[in-house]
Structure 1
Amino acid sequence: MSQSFYEFKVKDANGKDVSLGEKYKGQVVIVVNVASKCGLTPVNYTQLKEILDQYKDRGLAIAAFPCNQFADQILYIKCLEQEPDCSADIEEFVKKEYSLEPDLYAKIEVNGDGADPLWKWLRKQKSKGDSVKWNFTKFLISRRGEIINRYGPTVEPKSFIADIEKALAKPSKL
């Protein structure tokens, strides 16, 4: 089993392979599953933008993974998908509505047999029931590729700024 965030390869929003080690080594990363039509979207995207603006120059990055595994139940009859769009539309939405330009990756599943290997690993490292409960589950990754903490969907990004600052203050080498 992988020991570090840096060992994984994922697909970017254009379908190209990205080595997380090559892209993020030495940075602090917030990894988050996102959705454009979730009730948690406004607060999360707004705060992620503010945090990225404030800390990007110090080595913070945001790796956003669109996910359409979660849906709102409407009258227990119809489901409203929370991330039905394609990567290009998601990227345009985030940029236009929130002026946020995270590193956007291909749409994935975070739970079940079809879950992306990175997300399987993330869930195992900082388990809170071994599943992702909803959109906007966040993982804070150290400069060394280790998971510092997992934050649930309703935990607002600004609430863990102290953890981000502490991680940014640490050197990337032992």
Structure 2
Amino acid sequence: MSAIYDVDVVDNKQAKHSMAEYKDKVLLIVNTASQCGFTPQYQGLQELYQRFNQQGFEVLAFPCNQFGQQEKGSNEEIAKFCDLQFNISFPLFDKVEVNGSNTHPLYQLLKSQARGILGSEKVKWNFTKFLVTKNGEVVKRYAPTTKPEAIINDIEKLL
């Protein structure tokens, strides 16, 4: 079994989940922020979710306040914003840190398995995306500038 399935996460309502709940699904894991120039990507993420969810695809959003303090709100405020602005239906999780000494274990694993430019593990900004196979293998990292619709072919290959 992949190490990703050994990681526990907490949703935005403080319920604990095992990543094993997502076994046999293709995952797009994204660190998000409500006040970022890339925030409109929530719409594209929702469109991907609607298009592929019935085929075994999940978008998992992990709000993060490490970049420009662009996610200051509480979990409730973040969920309300996402609902009002983008009507998202994919899971929102508790705020996490993706870099530094308090990096969430999920992000430690994602970064080690899909490095960034020049082999860097560091997440550069909000809306960095990680694509994970049905077997839990992290196969690709996408820059914040990569729009969700640009990932469609990669998702289809894994479904």
Q: Name the TM-score, length of structure 1 as normaliser.
A: 0.87
Select the residue among 51, 61, 80 that pairs with 1:64: 61
Match of 2:138 among 125, 144, 147: 147
CA-to-partner distance for each residue in 1:100-150, whole Å, 9 max, x for gaps? 122111001000001101101111111111100000000011111111211
Q: Percent identity?
A: 40
Q: How many residues align?
A: 156
Report the counterpart of residue 77 of structure 1 in structure 2: none
Q: Name stretches of at least 5 consecutive residues in structure 1 with no aligned partner.
A: 72-80, 169-174
Structure 2 residues without counterparts, runs of 5 or longer: none
Structure 2 length normalisation: TM-score?
A: 0.94
Provide the residue aligned with 1:35 in structure 2.
33
Q: Is the 8 A contact 2:27 2:57 kept in 1?
A: yes
What is the match of residue 88 of structure 1?
Answer: 76
In structure 2, what is the Cα distance between the partners aligned to 1:47 and 1:8?
27
Residue type at the aligned position of 1:61 = E
In the aligned structure 2, how far is the partner of 1:58 from the partner of 1:123? 26
| Structure number with larger C-alpha Rg | 1
Runs of 4+ in 1 over 4 A off after TM superposition: none
Equivalent-residue separation in structure 2 for 1:130 and 1:41 (angstroms): 23
Q: Pairwise mapping of residues 23-172 of structure 1 onto structure 2 (< 5 A)?
A: 23-42=21-40, 44-71=41-68, 81-128=69-116, 129-168=120-159
How big is the alpha-carbon RMSD for the aligned residues of Structure 1 and Structure 2? 1.2
Which has a greater percent of strand? 1
